[in-house]
Structure 1
Amino acid sequence: MSQSITKTLTVNSFHQNKLNDHTSFSSSTMKNDTKTTPSQLQFFVRLMWTCKSLVIRASREDTVKSLLKAISFKTKIPIEYQRLIYRGKQLHSEQSLAECCIENDTCLQLIGHLRSMGFPMGCEALDDTVSLILRLCKGESVKDASRILHCRMMKYMEHKECVSVFMFMKVPLLMVTLYNSPYANNKGIADFCIRQLMIFCDHIETAQLQVIYFEVVLEFCELLRGVGFESNDLLYVVCRGSFGRMLESVGGVSDRDTKRRILFQGGFDCVVEISDKLLRFLDLSFGRMLESVGGVSDRDTSQALLCRDVHDFEKFSAPLRVGIAEHQGAFEVPVDCGFLCEKDSLIARVVDRFRLVFIQLLIKMDECLQSMEGCLVNKEQGEGGVSVIYYGWYYYLSILKELYHISKLYTGAEDKFWGVLLRRKSMLCHLIVKYTENTDDHRWVLKNRSVTDFESRRHLVMMLFFHELKDGLWDFHEMLIDRSQLLAESFEYISQAKPKSLQRGLFMEFKNEDATGPGVLREWFVLVCQEIFSPQNALFMACPNDRRRFFPNAASKIHPLHLEYFSFCGRIIALALRSKVHVGIVFDRVFHGQLAGEYITLEDIREADPIMYSSCKQILNMDADSIDSDTLGLTFATEVWELGRREVIELCLGGESRVVDSKNREEYVRLLIHNRFVTSISKQVSHFAKGFADILSGSSQEFFQSLELEELDWMLHGSENAISVEDWKAHTVYNGYKDIDRQISWFWEIVGRMSVEQRKVLLFFWTSVKHLPVEGFHGLDSRLHICRTSELDSHLPSSHTCFYELCFPPYSSLAIMQDRLRVITQEHIGCSFGTP
């Protein structure tokens, strides 16, 4: 049975906080003026154990509890241990000051008082802890001091009553004093004990205990920072790291004053400190002080420190900006600092200084990107000396990402942010292509398309939305396809596979053929897409004026498995994009718009249905009198032919009897388009999107929103330009031949005389690439090779499509070579003639 402890606390003068004789603060309902009004009181609170006084100004309507909270915030004494005495009587917490009959300029006494508690041994252990620390600080030598101190300090720390006493008895201050002690071994003893306490804090799961330990960890951070340690002090970094990890749960703190201190004081102090370090490191990253870096090990150390500080800046800044937004009352709404100033001076100060941090870092990033551009120019000009500067560039995007989020808090800040990136567009694109990895999430860059180019957006989209392919064949989804049953068997293999199996990659071969590998896979993608979008299968419709463009066919339901085929098609297109295979088809705007979740307008249907487009334009442009005279005889209904029969579909309730006139014609056009290109194909689009999403690591709608239709065209179809022989030749190397050999001269002479289609067939035979990337041959992942073989003139050329190799013997004449190339450039022979 636990005994009851009731005593007035005395605090040893060795570890007293320095309190000003006259410290003014107000409760939540006070104004910040210095004059008292008839509704306000000014009085003194005397701390009995320090003989110091606090000056208090409060409203007569304030409760005693509100005063205790204010005093607790200043003295760090928990409310439950405070007692206010006036004229010999204890004031009850729920009473107002008026009810207590407190007069102006009177004096109250504050007594620290331990209530009866269930863990008296915990208090005794903490008393012993204080005594041991004081002995060590005086220079005494204690055997096994680290172990003893740790055991005493941590013995009852899972109980919140003991934690409160731990703070009241100033144990954190004593521990930091011990850490800063000049006596041998004291630093190591304190370091060990504080680290063990931080480990304990990192594993706290109880919400109530987490809130209490917030104050403990924050106290250690402030004390270590306050005694003058550099922010690189390892113990301080450990404490700051624990505080940062605990900030993730700051949203669950219910007490407003505690949450405010944790977030707007403790968290912000860390943000300012880290941002100052980042500014210095950013100077290093673009070479202003780089010559002072001694060697590789110094650079490695600097890089590790920069990595940690960038991570910590994100870790502390994120909850702070969320807290500011929540205080304002809406997330991602620009802050009105005038409003905050009226409500809370502390938060207003933080908001204003946080904006200053944003401005300073944005200016520095502008300088960094400008200097980076100069470094790259010097490298291209061969001036060298740039390699040592690269180490900081990797972290630029992470800093910019956090600045983007901060910019959304302040009016006009977002425009300034995007303005800097637009000015440094080329360097931003360079960072995205060269320094982003699959673990990075930089979706924020896609919010403003004007600051990036196609190459950087494509790189970012591929990295963000597609799983990284692993090396090795053992995890690949294997397929063995009969060419005569290409679509049916491909459908079975792909539609029945689990998404995770497909995400690992594909390995396929055709039945009765030896060829395997990437070249065969590229060929399969091209062939299966030709089948999917063939008019014979009625899944998709081609645009009348551009037969490359497709959108779902509303009549696809003629096939009982048509929706499953749309899911299959979504998977195929996503897999082709992930494998960077250009399949030669593109989507129409109405299809792309629906996949992106966009509203379909009249202009969107121009290519899909030119006749409907012209008719709708005519209706909208007609003279009002003409259309009101019912010249067209239109109602809010439309006719469709489905499975050989005519069906009337009402565009709205009672639409068949509602006449189109000059007042409702815009509504008519809108409903007509929606019925034709949204309602009638909604299931097909939905299943395609579902299949597409099976291959992604994000949503399909977000993927299509990230790319303009033209950019998706480039990724699906590739280049629209005719194959350039000069570009082809420039990206070809020779094995066994030299570029001056007559066979090589003959080869390029023959290719130069080929038709456009013959060149395409030759390229497909050589590489299984049907359509070049938009960059031409430069966009391929490898150069092309021409290899010499030892066969006779009678042998036809062969290829290894996986390695982009074309092999042929040293033909004895141009005529023989031309005949052999003519054979393999026939469409029915050019496909699948190569080997892996």
Structure 2
Amino acid sequence: MTLNHLSADDDDSSNNLDSSLSVVPITDHLKRKFDDFAPDYDGVDILAKMRKHEIDADHMASSATPSWILSRSGENSDSYRSISSSAECSYDCESSNRSESTRLQLFVRMMSGGKTIVIHADRNDTVEKLHQRIEWKTKIPVIEQRIIYKGKQLQNEQSLSFYSIEQDASLQLVGRMQSTEHPIAWQTIDDIMYTISRMYKSEEDLPSNINEKIDAFFRMIPRENDEVNGDEVCAMVRHTPWQDYGTLFKTKEKDESIAKYIKIFSSSSVPGALVMLYTSSKEMNKLCAKSSIKLFLNKCIGLPKNQQNYCLPIVLEFTRLLKRFCPDQKLYVTCRNTLASMLETFDNSRGFHGGVLTFGSEIFPFFSELADLMVKELVQYTGPSFSDVEKFASFWHHLKKAIEFHVPCSIPIALPLQNTILETEIVQLHRLFGKLLSTMDVCMCRVEFLLAEKEGGGNSESLSASCSQYLAILKIINSMANLYQGAKEHVAENLNLRKVAFCALVVKFAKRGDDHQWIFEYREATNFEARRHLAMLLFPDVKEEYDEMHEMLIDRSNLLAESFEYIVRASPEALHSGLFMEFKNEEATGPGVLREWFYLVCQELFNQKNTLFLRTADDFRRFSPNPASKVDPMHSDFFEFTGRVIALALMHKVQVGVLFDRVFFLQLAGSRISLEDIKDTDGIMYNSCKQILEMDPVFFDSSAGLGLTFMLETEVLGKRDTIELCPGGKSIAVNSRNRRHYVDLLIERRFATPISEHVKQFSRGFTAMLSESVPPRSFFKRINLEDLDGMLRGGECAISIDDWKAHTEYNGFKETDRQIDWFWKILKKMTEEEQRSILFFWTSNKFVPVEGFRGLSSKLYIYRLYEANDRLPLSHTCFYRICLPKYPTMSLMEQRLRYIAQDHVSSSFGKW
């Protein structure tokens, strides 16, 4: 196909264009060479068609054309103005020294409406200088101009005399349409611009096909079946055989093709044109523009996430223009929200890295605007909404990236700044940080008031309604604090002051799947309930759907072996679905039986007869792995089994009465063991090491010293051995200079190394019960040893009968009945172990949570048993219910209660 040249004197150029394009096949892979012709729709140039006023005289003011329409995405109109001004001054200086005989006055006809401007030049000037003069007068960038004289296009490097241009010659100015391999896409955009031009200029309502054209344009964009980011491409190259590189790099070619399509849209001024149409006084124009802008935004969101990157600058341009000309309109908010949503998946590595500076300064106004909105709503206690905070976080994420990119060596930043990129934004951001922090302090004070009101019988829902986004805002404030010196200390001070409110927010609003790591930067501002809640979020939700439960039928006489088979052989997914437990030849089923099973299995696992664990020498309540257990070939499997059981007990919130030794806990958390950590594990070694470190250096190094070397004597299963703490240790004397190193090695070799494999297997089993992709050790890093004590054993204090009574209700009895009075008096006379046995018979819980009886999942109930008045009590552990006959005497009731308080009986009378 050959495209005809357009003559400068041809008044029917639009017809020529229509006829020449009419033979273009329906394909988008042909290249049309726009250097050979100039498109024209009824005389409207593609680059000038949206101008509200035409420049028709040599001295016309530059303000005749709105700069926001002329500017392109990513361009700076001020830079064009300065360049053009320089060109004008340069020309005036040069022309004053030239002969009048070479001076030319030229009439340059604009394609838009046939208007003409006068340009003064010199015969010896290059065509490029002429272009610069035209740019200064019309604000049309040089790169987008094309000059036609006698049917020929003037080339930039040639002089005017080369083309024999005479005095008062007429030249035709048309838009240079960039060479492209997507002519149909260009034509579609031209049609959009032409339609907008007609609608804006016409006094009548014209039918619009803009939406159809936008829809057609997006259908031309090639879609990718797989989303591949930059890092993935690099990984693919490393792992792809060279024979398959051709297929691999089709991805890159497709990316480049997508970029070209989006560039066609952005370079055509469609965003500015649509916003101009939206600001029109005609309601029809406004509605049409609104519909088209929303359609474009929806089309961008509908693209695969990796393709959305290319649309981001255009959406940014829409948002910037709408903020400038109609910030109070809902369309602007919609556009701003779309921009924030696209930023959430924005991959800065795909071609926009060089634009980080502009990006940072461009999005700061939106971030600041949302910050002011949130402060307003926080003060009024009306919000903010989840959507506003989500968009605020998205803008902040990329603003932070921009700052870190430009001042990486200065973070944390010390104010005031000098000669720093984004200096204005950084200073303003610090003010916003202070404003948000002080506002949140007021809000946290109100939370404390609401909590106090709740304890007094107020409305607990008010906390949820008004404070749901406080934790998310605090997370952003913490991220902002990372940029400035001293800011973290201010945040910590505020949170420590509002510890009660902060912990309440964590327990109420910290959700599974969110990133809560920042909270542990302020560990002092957290309490047991907050840390426990955050740790429990690492477990998946327990599914209680009967059809999906993992069923276990266990023989009490073979409890450990059968439990091992059911738990170790099951997949983590099966165990996450819930557990249905039943003992052979027993009627009882349900949650109460499951709680009993957890307790009994843990009692067996930590029984000294099974040699898996040892009691700590100085605290018999605590356990650590037995180094000698490795003689059993099954020991590693049983430690993995133990890890699973403990994790499942925590997941089901069952107190099993087991405490871990501090050294064991620290290894599970991946922490280094210090001298102070072994104080409660081995007091003798602790005192010996303390003496070594505190001994007078002179005496220690003298001949009267201890005479130690880097050796350790060990004993396993009665066999004594001597090992070196480091290579050549037997010949290295311990002195005052290396004694600290000696103690560190001694502790590691004595406490960590012997049980490292046991810890590994336990951790493996425990981690398998956590949610997928949760890193090992995460659970134990989130809590303290004392927190784990509370979760596994409950409160340290003795059982409070008054608390027990306060959380008990009655059915068939009244609180004033003598049988109820006898019952509580008998419980108070019992030993603590007997009380725990009664509680276990009643609820299958032998230990009370840290919070007391209010920490149980249900109130407790005493039901009247309408049977023989001398029979034994009955319980329904699933419902926390004990059933008592109406005993005629207190002595008979006490006899029956003490009978079931025996361990071998308290596990036998539960129903379900």
Query: 1:141 aligns to what?
Result: 205
Distance 2:795 2:749 in 1: 34
Query: 2:180 aligns to what?
Result: 117
Query: 1:490 aligns to what?
Result: 563
Distance 2:767 2:145 in 1: 60
Query: 1:334 aligns to what?
Result: 412
Q: What do the CA deviations read for 1:779-800 (whole angstroms, capped 9, x no partner)?
A: 2121111110111123100111
Query: 2:895 aligns to what?
Result: 819
From 435, 438, 442, the equivalent of 2:516 is: 442
CA-CA distance at 1:636 after TM superposition: 1.7
Segment drifting more, 372-381 vs 464-473:
372-381
Superposition pairs of residues 542-553 of structure 1, within 5 angstroms: 542-553=615-626
From 365, 372, 379, the equivalent of 1:269 is: 365
1:320 aligns with 2:399: yes
Distance 1:646 1:229 in 2: 82
Distance 2:88 2:355 in 1: 24
Contact 2:663 2:677 (8 Å CA) reproduced: yes
Q: What do the CA deviations read for 1:307-365 (whole angstroms, capped 9, x no partner)?
A: 211111111111211221232226x94135666x4242xx1222222222222211211
From 693, 705, 709, the equivalent of 1:635 is: 709
Query: 1:237 aligns to what?
Result: 334
From 587, 591, 597, the equivalent of 1:524 is: 597
Distance 1:821 1:690 in 2: 43
Query: 2:99 aligns to what?
Result: none
Query: 1:566 aligns to what?
Result: 639
Query: 1:677 aligns to what?
Result: 751
What SS class does the counterpart of residue 252 from structure 1 fall into? coil
Distance 2:543 2:206 in 1: 57
CA-CA distance at 1:242 after TM superposition: 4.1
Segment drifting more, 689-698 vs 784-793:
689-698
Cα 1:309–1:538 shift into 2, 3 Å: same
Query: 2:735 aligns to what?
Result: 661
Query: 1:296 aligns to what?
Result: none
Query: 1:59 aligns to what?
Result: none
Cα 1:423–1:652 shift into 2, 3 Å: same
1:782 aligns with 2:877: no
Distance 1:206 1:610 in 2: 60
Contact 1:129 1:153 (8 Å CA) reproduced: no
Cα 1:630–1:91 shift into 2, 3 Å: farther
Query: 1:771 aligns to what?
Result: 847
Q: What do the CA deviations read for 1:269-324 (whole angstroms, capped 9, x no partner)?
A: 221121121122212316xxxxxxxxxxxxxxxx6x72211111111111211221
1:705 aligns with 2:781: yes
Contact 1:128 1:152 (8 Å CA) reproduced: no
Cα 1:750–1:435 shift into 2, 3 Å: same
**Alignment: residue pair count:** 757
CA-CA distance at 1:83 after TM superposition: 10
Cα 1:308–1:675 shift into 2, 3 Å: same
Letter in 1 for 2:709: T
Distance 2:456 2:65 in 1: 62
CA-CA distance at 1:175 after TM superposition: 1.2
CA-atom RMSD in angstroms: 3.5
Query: 1:282 aligns to what?
Result: 378
Q: What do the CA deviations read for 1:409-442 (whole angstroms, capped 9, x no partner)?
A: 1111111122222222222222222333335433
Q: What do the CA deviations read for 1:29-53 (whole angstroms, capped 9, x no partner)?
A: xx9xx9xxxxxx966699998999x
1:5 aligns with 2:41: no
Distance 2:280 2:723 in 1: 88
Query: 1:150 aligns to what?
Result: 214
Cα 1:650–1:90 shift into 2, 3 Å: farther
Cα 1:620–1:211 shift into 2, 3 Å: closer
1:349 aligns with 2:427: no
From 141, 149, 167, the equivalent of 2:266 is: 167
CA-CA distance at 1:767 after TM superposition: 1.1
Distance 1:584 1:799 in 2: 22
1:215 aligns with 2:322: no
Letter in 2 for 1:372: V
Contact 2:724 2:730 (8 Å CA) reproduced: yes
Distance 1:747 1:658 in 2: 69
1:431 aligns with 2:505: yes
Distance 1:644 1:770 in 2: 37
Q: What do the CA deviations read for 1:231-261 (whole angstroms, capped 9, x no partner)?
A: 6x04641453145314532422445553322
What SS class does the counterpart of residue 810 from structure 2 fall into? strand
From 363, 366, 383, the equivalent of 2:438 is: 363
CA-CA distance at 1:120 after TM superposition: 3.3
Cα 1:495–1:576 shift into 2, 3 Å: same
Contact 2:52 2:65 (8 Å CA) reproduced: no
Letter in 2 for 1:279: V
Contact 2:545 2:578 (8 Å CA) reproduced: no
Contact 1:582 1:716 (8 Å CA) reproduced: yes
Query: 1:225 aligns to what?
Result: 323
Cα 1:333–1:595 shift into 2, 3 Å: farther
Q: What do the CA deviations read for 1:133-176 (whole angstroms, capped 9, x no partner)?
A: 12222343344635544356557566644543433332112212
Contact 1:202 1:242 (8 Å CA) reproduced: no
From 468, 474, 479, the equivalent of 1:405 is: 479
Letter in 1 for 2:600: L
Segment drifting more, 220-229 vs 429-438:
429-438
Letter in 2 for 1:640: T
Query: 2:796 aligns to what?
Result: 720
Distance 2:577 2:837 in 1: 31
Distance 1:596 1:445 in 2: 17
1:474 aligns with 2:547: yes
Query: 2:225 aligns to what?
Result: none
CA-CA distance at 1:679 after TM superposition: 1.4
- TM-score, length-normalised on structure 2? 0.76
Distance 1:385 1:618 in 2: 59
Distance 2:571 2:347 in 1: 40
Distance 1:394 1:764 in 2: 38
Distance 1:161 1:807 in 2: 79
What SS class does the counterpart of residue 647 from structure 1 fall into? strand
Identity %: 39
Query: 1:742 aligns to what?
Result: 818
Report which of the two structures shows the higher radius of gyration computed on alpha carbons: 2
- What are the ranges of 5 or more consecutive residues in structure 1 without an aligned counterpart? 35-40, 53-63, 93-109, 287-302
Contact 1:590 1:600 (8 Å CA) reproduced: yes
- TM-score, length-normalised on structure 1? 0.83
Distance 2:463 2:665 in 1: 42
Contact 2:46 2:193 (8 Å CA) reproduced: no
Segment drifting more, 743-752 vs 134-143:
134-143
Query: 1:182 aligns to what?
Result: 281
Query: 1:419 aligns to what?
Result: 493
Letter in 1 for 2:375: L
Contact 1:362 1:417 (8 Å CA) reproduced: yes
Distance 2:550 2:157 in 1: 76
Cα 1:350–1:46 shift into 2, 3 Å: farther
What SS class does the counterpart of residue 547 from structure 2 fall into? coil
Letter in 1 for 2:324: G
Distance 2:712 2:423 in 1: 61
CA-CA distance at 1:762 after TM superposition: 1.0
Query: 1:509 aligns to what?
Result: 582
